[in-house]
Amino acid sequence: MLTERHLQIFVALADEQHFGDAARVVGITQPPLSQGLRRLEALVGAKLFERGPGRVELTPAGAALLPYARRALSSLDDFHHAASARDPDGPELRLGLAPEVPASVGAAVAAACSEWMSRVSVVTAPTSSLVSAISAGRLGLAVVLHPTVLDGLQAGPVTLLPTWALVPTTLFPDDGEPLPLRKLDGLPVAVRPRAEAPAARDLFLDTLALHRPRGGTVVVTDERAGLAMAAAGQAIALTPDPSLAAAGVGRHRLVDDPLPVRLRLVWPHPRTPSALPAEVIPQISQALAAS
């Protein structure tokens, strides 16, 4: 059966004349793009592209069918817009937030989104899952950790959030005293699993090892678990969330702030059906930076 994705692959390949570039436009990787093209050619019973060194070109059959594919995609776009217009509640934006995004920051981004979209639903998931959901069209916008691989996605500027070290008062009794990271070597630092955001975790761990060669790390499921371990005197937790606190845990700024939380907005390529209007992104990016 001919699908919208088949048409997107056809038009993207015709425009980009390169499998890798076309895959990024569609928001998928190259193998499924090649598979989609093969299925499309089988459906229409004709070869649509000639493969050459480093590029592809339309065959006569492909050139003849391309205008129809463009019109079909345009009609589908009109259908999506008409369906949204008939929805009494208006279109919905699905917003994703990485778990490391503080509650106040997530709320500010959601509020900025609501100024442009009638409805906003929010999901929380690891950065790797959010990027996959954006690529698949299941989310329209996400706040993720930086750095991360954003193959084919659009991204805004990086926002740095300062962090606090949550330290058992048995280790450092003076709450609020700024501390150099190298002094926090008496306990392991609580970290989330690497698979949730591999590139960001690697940067964190490399920086941690540079400034704090001793002490090690311990993996926790979330910030609440890290706080609990700090309260139990078993770990040090780092957080950008000013509201995260517990009895027996002191909050300390790190000298020179070597481990900020780096966040950025990501969203689909403008040609995908779930893409936001271009004028929306700068306003939402400002809300993230201001928070």
Tell which residue, 82, 97, 89, 28, has the closest CA to residue 284: 97
What is residue 86's predicted lDDT score, i.e. its pLDDT? 47
pTM: 0.70
The CA–CA distances, whole Å, from 74 to 11, 13, 24, 69, 81 equal 11, 17, 20, 9, 11
Measured distance CA(256)–CA(162) in Å, rounded = 10
- Check whether 218 has a pLDDT greater than 90: yes
Structural domains in the chain, sorted by start: 4-86 (1.10.10.10), 92-159+262-290 (3.40.190.10), 163-259 (3.40.190.10)
Q: 């700090």: which residue's tokens?
A: 230
Residue 23: pLDDT band (50, 70, 90) is confident
Residue 72: pLDDT band (50, 70, 90) is confident
Compare 138 and 145 and report the one with higher pLDDT: 145
Is the CB of residue 77 less than 8 Å from the CB of residue 124? no
Least confident of 43-52, 75-84, 150-159, 163-172: 75-84
Q: Count of alpha carbons within 13 Å of 86, Cβ hemisphere only?
A: 6
Compare 290 and 265 and report the one with higher pLDDT: 265
